[in-house]
Amino acid sequence: MDFTVNEETQVMLDLMERFVQEEVIPLEPAFLTKNFSEIEPQIDRLRARVRQMGLWGPAQPKEYGGMGLPLTDFALVSEVLGRSPLGHYVFGCHAPDAGNIEILHDHGTPEQKERWLGPLVRGEIRSCFSMTEVELPGSNPVMMDTTAVLEDGQWVINGQKWYTTSADGAAFAIVMAVTDPEAPPHQRASMIIVPTDTPGFDLVRNISVMGHTGDGWASHAEILYHSCRVPEENLLGPRGAGFRIAQERLGPGRIHHTMRWLGICRRALDLLCKRAVTRPIAPGQVLADREIIQAWIAESAAEIAAARALTLQTAWKIEHLGWKEVREEISMIKFVVANVMQKVVDRALQVFGGLGMTDDTILAYFHRHERAARIYDGADEVHKLSLARRILKPYRARAAEIREGSHVFR
């Protein structure tokens, strides 16, 4: 596995890093204290500059105006942009649009691509992905109450979803709904495109997450679908293939998220170190003189490096072998990186003391919104159990042989 970054890619990463540091991060105080809609004009000006620089849509298909970077290169980009909560949005590779673009590109009809994919890649519209339900476990995606029944050439959708990220202001939703209730569990659901101005698509509320409701792209919505009708041709991919399509998207999407989390780790550790060397604790002494702080810095650096190496290895394997061959690593990086991020952010908060609890730094935002990393995209515990079952499977099959072979298990 060759993780060497070529000169062209390194120049691109350096340009992006400088732009994030000099242009994006200075917008964060406004982002933390104002509604998203209030600062959107400023963000749009930055997006226009990114387009002029030829850096728009790093992961998006070239034929629709993106850069078309391979997964390992985009992993490095995601780490750079992840240093700010606005980074991915400013560069046009933000969730949930990035995932929806991939789904539309791989499974959309020519008509669906013309109507939705092109404008989405160009950043002219936004989208959302509507899967998680209020009363059912998101950790078990085959359990779903939302239904789509085909009547007279139209899908009639009924159900309640929440944590539909960025639904506020989105042009359309990709909805996961049960279309074949009698089919095997993994073949019951389909993906359907629902324009958000369709009668029966009701955005009930933007959900308050740890005291912050948000708006526009920076929000999570509860959606009620009641007799929401869309044409039969809005089916995205084959009927009953919703779960399979979601699984195909899961591997690359996990890389996007985990490398973004590693960007957050980098930012948090950088802030921790700056605080440690400047915060006086006694005459002639600063926090960095304390051994416990030095230990936190060393542990954080080592944990970040290990999590990063595992993630880049997984990205390389997905790109070269396919996601099915890397299912164990895909589970590993989710809970490993999420936990490293939580520890590093928490250490930084501790070093900042009372200041860390305020919105005068970005750390409190990371704590509020990224703690969910251990829940969204599958709870840590579910990934650990799934991984352990896969590891134990060949051992269980050989249990009798192992038992008879030797009591010391040579």
| Residue 397: Cβ-neighbour burial (10 angstroms; 0-12, 13-18, 19+) | exposed
Report the alpha-carbon distance of residue 223 to residue 163 in Å, rounded.
9
Q: Does residue 326 surpass a pLDDT of 80?
A: yes
Q: Is the peptide bond before 137 cis (omega within 30 degrees of 0)?
A: no
pLDDT tens for residues 9-60?
Answer: 999 999 999 999 999 999 999 999 999 999 999 999 999 999 999 999 999 9
pLDDT tens for residues 78-133?
Answer: 999 999 999 999 999 999 999 999 999 999 999 999 999 999 999 999 999 999 99
pLDDT for the residue 409: 60
Average pLDDT, stretch 366-389?
91
CATH of domain 243-397: 1.20.140.10
Structure tokens given for 300: 């954080």
pLDDT for the residue 184: 94
Residue type, 216: G
Helix (H, G, I), strand (E, B), or coil: what is residue 75? helix
DSSP character string of 361-385: SSHHHHHHHHGGGGTTTS-HHHHHH
Average pLDDT, stretch 297-324?
95
pLDDT for the residue 323: 84
pLDDT for the residue 21: 98
Average pLDDT, stretch 351-362?
97
At the top level of CATH, which class does the domain 7-94 belong to? mainly alpha
Report the alpha-carbon distance of residue 104 to residue 222 in Å, rounded.
23
Residue-range domain boundaries for the chain: 7-94, 127-240, 243-397
Q: 249 pLDDT band (50/70/90 cuts)?
A: confident
pTM of the model: 0.94
Summary count for the chain: helices (H), strands (E)? 14, 11
> What percent of the chain has pLDDT above 70?
98
Residue 124 has a CB neighbour count (10 Å cut-off) of 9
pLDDT tens for residues 176-189?
Answer: 999 999 999 999 99
Contacts for 46 with CB less than 8 Å, ≥ 6 apart: 23, 24, 27, 90
CATH of domain 127-240: 2.40.110.10
